[in-house]
Amino acid sequence: MISERTIICLASDWEYDPTSKHQIMKILARQNQVVWVNYHGTRRPAPTRTDALNALSILRCVTRGVRRVSSNMVQVTPLVIPAPRHPYLKRINEHLVISAIRRALAYFGDADRPVQVWTFAPDTGFVAGKLGEERFVYYCVDEHAQFEGFDPRYVAQEERKQIDAADVLITTSAALFESKGRSHPSKHLVRHGVDAAHFGRAVDGDLPVPDDLAGVPHPVIGFFGVVHHWIDCALIAEVARKRPEYTFVLIGEVLTDVTPLRGLPNVRLLGRRPYETLPHYCKLFDAAMLPFNRTAMTRSVNPIKMREYLAAGLPVVSTPLPEARQHEADIIITDGADAFTQGCDRVLRENGSAGSKTLDISARRARAERAAGDTWEAVVERLSSIVMQTPGTRSPDDVSKQTTSPAEEPELVSSIA
């Protein structure tokens, strides 16, 4: 595993629900120093109450400066002006981000460690070569240009530049592997891992029923994750109407219109719940669902929750996600409301219900055991091998010339600090 490095991770909020970047950086922080950069420069905010509240939260984080996460990890939130396409403001934003990173690096006070940059954002190629890094890694987990609220042409253009600048390109689905950096010399497909020990507690652990689902009628078809524009709420609503005796539970922050689900007596929208409690809900679920819309974005998605469901021993019903076909022994892939409804019927018939005596515990254990081999530790070991065996595109002499201290950094504007 990579060790004795300082790793700069450009990603979304550290404080949000754990994703691949959280899992990977927590493991790397065992043997490295990690600077987590809460980067908010990709999406331009909309004039909505939600985005206004998010902006205020980001500003509070900016004013707090560098904050310690653990003994080997700190986080910092750079101030970014939400106008990425304006050339002058773009230069200011780049200056602000790099300056914030340098301040965070100084927090560790260990200038002798080699530096690596790992970015999970598509538009941070401007960092490449500015921090004396031995490797610049682009870890691509989504078709970012297809996200709602993003400027698709701008994001695609910046991502192409970033891929060209990257020493290593990691993709997490077969579709991303095919579409990104077709001629990149160090492109790799590394699918997500799973916290098998955490979610495996749902199979045999003595976990109490969550209070908000006490007495819920079985069978229960569950979902957890952000309820955003990629989730097919109309599909869930139609299936719920077709099977009023089933309970459909959705756990996660709601960031899209869920009007089709409102008022349905057998649909529960619980909102966000702590990651630590998810095995409790999985133990209660009879099956899980992946009700994704069919879009250009979801054709490339590899949902982390898919492996988490399986590690919890749950059978899964999914819309036709290409990555779900990697697990067809445990996932029923459907197309349309009628097929999705029949898929729910089938997994319940084959696996029993938690509210009955027919629950097939042995099948759940077998499913969890199949998923348990894909741990995040195994993923990080593979990533470490890839990154350390890939030569950097900049020689040690070039790196030393590109490294400047905060005092030596050119000042773009005197009015910002």
Of 16-20, 148-152, 413-417, where does the model show the most confidence? 16-20
**pLDDT at res. 42:** 63
Q: What is the pLDDT of residues 187-243, one digit of tens each?
A: 999 999 999 999 999 998 789 999 999 999 999 999 999 999 999 999 999 999 999
If pLDDT is split at 50, 70 and 90, which confidence band does 290 have?
very high
Tokens for 277, please give them: 């409690």
**Amino acid at residue number 310:** L
If pLDDT is split at 50, 70 and 90, which confidence band does 56 have?
low
Model confidence at 401: pLDDT above 60: no
The one-character DSSP state at 225 is: S
**pLDDT at res. 80:** 82
If pLDDT is split at 50, 70 and 90, which confidence band does 109 have?
confident
| CB-CB contact of 317 with 289 (8 Å) | yes
Tokens for 90, please give them: 């773009």
Distances (CA, A) of 73 to 26, 82, 155, 364: 8, 27, 29, 36
Average pLDDT rounded to a whole number, residues 93-102:
92
**pLDDT at res. 413:** 31
d(CA 117, CA 106): 16
The number of C-alpha atoms within 13 Å of 330 and in the hemisphere containing its C-beta is 26
- Measured over all CA atoms, what is the biggest interatomic distance in the chain, rounded to whole angstroms? 71
Residues 6+ apart with CB under 8 A from 25: 7, 9, 11, 34, 36, 73, 118
**pLDDT at res. 411:** 32
pTM of the model: 0.88
Average pLDDT rounded to a whole number, residues 179-183:
92
Alpha helix stretches (DSSP H) within 136-293:
152-165, 174-179, 196-204, 233-242, 278-284
Average pLDDT rounded to a whole number, residues 296-307:
95
| CB-CB contact of 344 with 245 (8 Å) | no
User: 276: exposed, middle or buried (C-beta count within 10 Å: 0-12, 13-18, 19+)?
Assistant: exposed
Domains of the chain with bracketed CATH: 6-193+375-402 (3.40.50.2000), 196-371 (3.40.50.2000)
More confident residue, 358 or 38: 38
Model confidence at 399: pLDDT above 50: no
**Amino acid at residue number 368:** A
Residue carrying structure tokens 């004795």 = 4
**pLDDT at res. 129:** 95
If pLDDT is split at 50, 70 and 90, which confidence band does 355 have?
very low
d(CA 123, CA 111): 27
d(CA 395, CA 387): 16
**Amino acid at residue number 397:** D
**pLDDT at res. 57:** 64
Q: HEC string of 249-307? A: EEECCECCCCHHHCCCCCEEEEECCCHHHHHHHHHHCCEEEECECCCCCHHHCCCHHHH
